[in-house]
Each structure stands twice: as structure tokens, then as C-alpha cells.
């Protein structure tokens, strides 16, 4: 279902249907929303975001980061920004790119049985445009750890071109901290 939703996001963003079809589709979306509302659950019980066996954890917010290889210190894979993430002139939106870094760095920060941490800051440098509809290489790695503080870095490449890079600080949560 989430795969279909991602496709729908891309198609909606890239389409200009006639008004009659727009009305028809709007009604169909509203009907679906009402039907799903009957099955509302708490955060703990929801499926999206919790399916770590699925690319993108089964949630539609973040562009899917597909892992090719990983250990407790590094992760390498690919990411593809669909039309939904368009900023302008064929480039990904500058707000969509940090979503991917937060996901990649955040998952690595909490990998290897380390206690859960949260992003304290995420700095992103945009080195070149990040093109849509291409498989981009994405990497993240542990830089250093100082007590509860974990510093991680990441980068996204289009071939040999460095599109964007990031540095994040993740702070391990104290017991009882939300």
C-alpha cells in the first residue's frame, strides 16, 4: 500500500488532470480517508514506520534509502528522489534531502545495540543539485563518540558528483527521556 502511495504522490505531483477527473479523484481520496479512519490505532500499534524489514520502514514521508551493505559503523546504499520531492528545475527540494540524512544517520546512530539516541542537530551542505529519478549513492559513517554524544557524517553522490553532505549529532537518551 505504501509503495502505491509513493507512486501516487509522484503521479499527482507530475500531472495536470482535467477538472472533472480531479473532482472524481478527490471524492475517491475522501472515501478512502473515511474508511481508514475506522481502523485508527495508537502510535505503538501502527504499521507504517515500524516495518524495518521493508525499504523506508513502510512509511511514505522519507525517500526510500535502500541498504546495500552495512555494519555498526558504516552504511552504504542508494536513494532515489521521485517527482514528489521536486524543489525546482529538476532538483530535489532542499527540505527533502535532510529527511534522508536524518533517516540514514539516525538508524546508524542506533545500530549495533547502542541505546536509543535522538538528533540534536543535523547540518546539511548542498554541494550540487540532487537530481530526481536517478539512483544516487548514499553513505553514512560514524565519526566519533563522546559520552552520550555520537557524531555521524553522510553524503549523497550522483556518479562522481557529491550532491550533498551532512553532519549530525545524536545524543543518547537518558532513562525515561521521551
Ligand X SMILES: CCCCCCCCCC(=O)SCCNC(=O)CCNC(=O)[C@H](O)C(C)(C)COP(=O)(O)OP(=O)(O)OC[C@H]1O[C@@H](n2cnc3c(N)ncnc32)[C@H](O)[C@@H]1OP(=O)(O)O
Q: Which of 71, 123, 148, 161 binds ligand X (CB under 6 A)?
A: 148
**Minimum distance from residue 161 beta carbon to ligand X (Å):** 26
Task: Using the structure block, give the residue that is written with the C-alpha cell 524489514.
Answer: 53
Q: Which of 129, 131, 9 is nearest to 81 (CA)?
A: 131
The residues in 149-168 that bind ligand X, with binding defined as CB under 6 A, are 149
In angstroms, what is the minimal distance from the CB of 29 to ligand X? 28
| 56 to 13, 99, 115, 170: CA distances (angstroms) | 20, 11, 22, 20
We find the least distance from the C-beta atom of residue 108 to ligand X, in angstroms, to be: 9
Take residue 123 and report the three cell numbers written for it: 547540518
CA–CA gap between residue 98 and residue 104 (Å, rounded) = 10
8 burial via Cβ count (<10 Å: 0-12, 13-18, 19+)? middle
Interface size with ligand X, residues (CB under 6 A): 17
| Chosen residue from 52, 53, 89, 159 binding ligand X by CB under 6 A | 52
Q: Does 40 bind ligand X (CB under 6 A)?
A: no
Binding site for ligand X (CB under 6 A): 52, 102-103, 106-107, 118-121, 147-149, 169, 171, 173-174, 177
Amino acid at each position: 500500500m505504501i509503495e502505491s502511495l509513493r507512486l501516487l504522490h509522484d503521479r499527482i505531483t507530475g500531472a495536470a488532470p482535467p477538472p472533472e477527473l480531479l473532482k472524481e479523484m478527490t471524492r475517491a481520496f475522501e472515501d478512502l480517508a473515511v474508511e481508514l479512519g475506522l481502523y485508527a490505532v495508537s502510535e505503538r500499534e501502527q504499521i507504517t514506520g515500524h516495518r524495518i524489514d521493508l525499504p523506508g520502514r513502510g512509511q511514505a514521508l522519507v525517500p526510500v534509502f535502500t541498504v546495500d551493505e552495512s555494519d555498526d559503523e558504516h552504511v552504504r546504499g542508494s536513494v532515489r528522489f521521485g517527482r514528489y520531492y521536486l524543489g525546482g528545475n529538476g532538483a530535489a527540494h532542499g527540505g527533502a534531502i535532510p529527511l534522508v540524512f536524518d533517516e540514514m544517520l539516525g538508524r546508524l546512530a542506533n545500530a549495533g545495540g547502542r541505546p536509543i539516541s535522538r538528533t540534536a542537530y543535523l547540518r546539511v551542505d548542498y554541494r550540487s543539485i540532487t537530481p530526481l529519478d536517478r539512483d544516487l549513492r548514499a553513505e553514512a559513517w560514524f565519526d566519533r563518540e563522546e559520552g552520550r554524544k555520537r557524531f555521524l557524517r553522510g553524503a549523497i553522490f550522483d556518479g562522481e558528483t557529491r550532491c550533498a553532505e551532512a553532519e549530525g549529532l545524536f545524543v543518547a537518551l537518558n532513562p525515561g527521556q521521551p
